[in-house]
Amino acid sequence: MAGEININIVTLLLLTVFAKNLFPANGSHNRVQSIFSFGDSLLDAGNNHYKVGCKSQADFPPYGSTFFHHPTGRFTNGRIVVDFISELLEINLQKSYLEAEMEVEIGNKKYYPSNGLNFASASSGVLPWTNGDLGIMSIQDQLKNFHSILHKNKIPKEQVRNSLYFFESGSNDIYGYFLNSNSTIDANTYIQAMLKEVDNFINKIYKLGARKIVVYSLGLVGCVPARVLFPGAPTNIECFEKMNTMAKDYNKGLEILVLNMPKKYHGSIGILADVYTIVEQLRATPEKYGLSNVSHACCGHGTLRGSLQCGKKGYELCKNPNEYLFWDYFHPSEHAYELVTKEIWSGKDAYARPFNLKTLVNKEI
């Protein structure tokens, strides 16, 4: 009888281990259960809405109308890349840092969410002074906020180590360069200053515990409908190539930083999400991706619907937002974000290097 009991206990233990492997916690098959995002409007999930005095906003209709059916502070008609990746990981969408902070401060929550936080702030740049007059959170301030909650022990160290870290920033710095006609700094010097800030960010986020870091390249910044607002830019369907050249040079520097990460930071794994190449492909064969318009904004006004922010007085709205590459004068549509996500998640190395995000997620650290 004792022998039978021992055998039954061993069998039960084996079945339990098997079940845990087959049906992991939280219903997910992935090693990552948490994402921390830093950057600008392409990643912002609503921080600017909670930032007192911030002038860069998307918290009014028709933003959010396609998926959430109400404005969320995201600068598009629905979800952004980090939202789609969260869905692939089978975790809840991250709250904006300022929203979560408010809940902790008033006592509704003791700790910050276990699925991560979004620190991104629309209109911010990698340079600390970019759009500072708009009341945004610079990338440096975003990092300070992350450091602060870690210092208060509001996020478990294990979560910090096993999370994904997203970085996407730089387009607003380039826009600022072209808007400042009085600038005496040459483009290369300006880009090197930007890359120095990115290098500092990677160094600091690693020291805070980040190990799996995803750096997003800039897209075709010279092809946004808002290019009609920049002096010397083409106002037809052609892109502003001087701006795109600057973005490509910046992206080359980003890739060098990413490839050097494992050598420079022991135990770290980085990938470059090549948004530029992905968007080039979307523009080259739009019909393949269900797109009918890759030059105009769905929502806006004027030439290319690029001279007025969506939702402002006098705006016009297209009938089928997800047939457009651009939702408003600067930002992609939800469908475009979904297409970009698919290529970063499981695409070939032309789109994510040295391997795709799905591979990174399941790597041991």
Nearest to 214 by CA among 167, 153, 149: 167
Give the pLDDT band of residue 24 (cuts 50, 70, 90).
very low
Q: Structure tokens of 10?
A: 């061993």
- The answer to whether residue 284 scores a pLDDT higher than 60 is yes
Rounded to two decimals, the pTM is 0.90
Give the pLDDT band of residue 250 (cuts 50, 70, 90).
very high
- The answer to whether residue 239 scores a pLDDT higher than 70 is yes
- Based on the fold, state whether residues 323 and 183 are members of the same structural domain: yes
Q: Residue 3 is part of which domain span?
A: 1-30
- Mean pLDDT is lowest, of 120-124, 144-148, 150-154, 328-332, for 150-154
Separation of alpha carbons 111 and 126, rounded Å: 29
CB 344 within 8 A of CB 273: yes
Catalytic residue, candidates 83, 173, 274, 328: 328
Give the pLDDT band of residue 1 (cuts 50, 70, 90).
very low
- Based on the fold, state whether residues 217 and 151 are members of the same structural domain: yes
CA dihedral 307, 313, 316, 320 (to 10 degrees): 110
Q: What is the reported pLDDT for 365?
A: 78
Nearest to 295 by CA among 287, 306, 285: 306
- Based on the fold, state whether residues 285 and 343 are members of the same structural domain: yes
3-state secondary structure of 87: helix
Q: What is the reported pLDDT for 30?
A: 61
* Catalytic (active site) residue 86: no
Which is higher by pLDDT, 12 or 343?
343
CATH of the domain at 126: 3.40.50.1110
- Based on the fold, state whether residues 25 and 38 are members of the same structural domain: no
CB count, 10 Å around CB of 356?
19
- Based on the fold, state whether residues 121 and 20 are members of the same structural domain: no
CB 34 within 8 A of CB 162: yes
- Based on the fold, state whether residues 59 and 187 are members of the same structural domain: yes
Find the helix or strand (DSSP H, E) in which 346 lies. Answer: helix 334-346
The 8 Å CB, 24+ separation contacts for 313-317 are 317/62
Separation of alpha carbons 347 and 71, rounded Å: 31
Nearest to 246 by CA among 299, 300, 175: 175
* Catalytic (active site) residue 331: yes
- Based on the fold, state whether residues 1 and 112 are members of the same structural domain: no
pLDDT digits (tens, 9 = 90+) for 197-219: 999 999 999 999 999 999 999 99
List 214's β-bridge partners, or say none: 166, 271
Q: What is the reported pLDDT for 158?
A: 92
pLDDT digits (tens, 9 = 90+) for 92-135: 999 999 999 999 888 777 789 999 999 999 999 999 999 999 99
193, amino acid identity: A
- The answer to whether residue 77 scores a pLDDT higher than 70 is yes
Q: How many domains does the chain have?
A: 2
Q: Phi and psi (nearest 5°) for 359? A: -65, -45
- Based on the fold, state whether residues 20 and 50 are members of the same structural domain: no
Q: What is the reported pLDDT for 31?
A: 81
- Based on the fold, state whether residues 22 and 67 are members of the same structural domain: no
What's the chain's average pLDDT? Answer: 91
- Based on the fold, state whether residues 257 and 114 are members of the same structural domain: yes
Separation of alpha carbons 12 and 245, rounded Å: 62
Q: What is the reported pLDDT for 352?
A: 97
Who's near 50: CB < 8 A, 6+ residues apart?
A: 73, 96, 98, 99, 102
- Mean pLDDT is lowest, of 47-51, 211-215, 233-237, 359-363, for 233-237
* Catalytic (active site) residue 328: yes
CB 341 within 8 A of CB 273: no
- Based on the fold, state whether residues 49 and 22 are members of the same structural domain: no
Catalytic residue, candidates 34, 41, 56, 268: 41
- Mean pLDDT is lowest, of 13-17, 72-76, 344-348, for 13-17
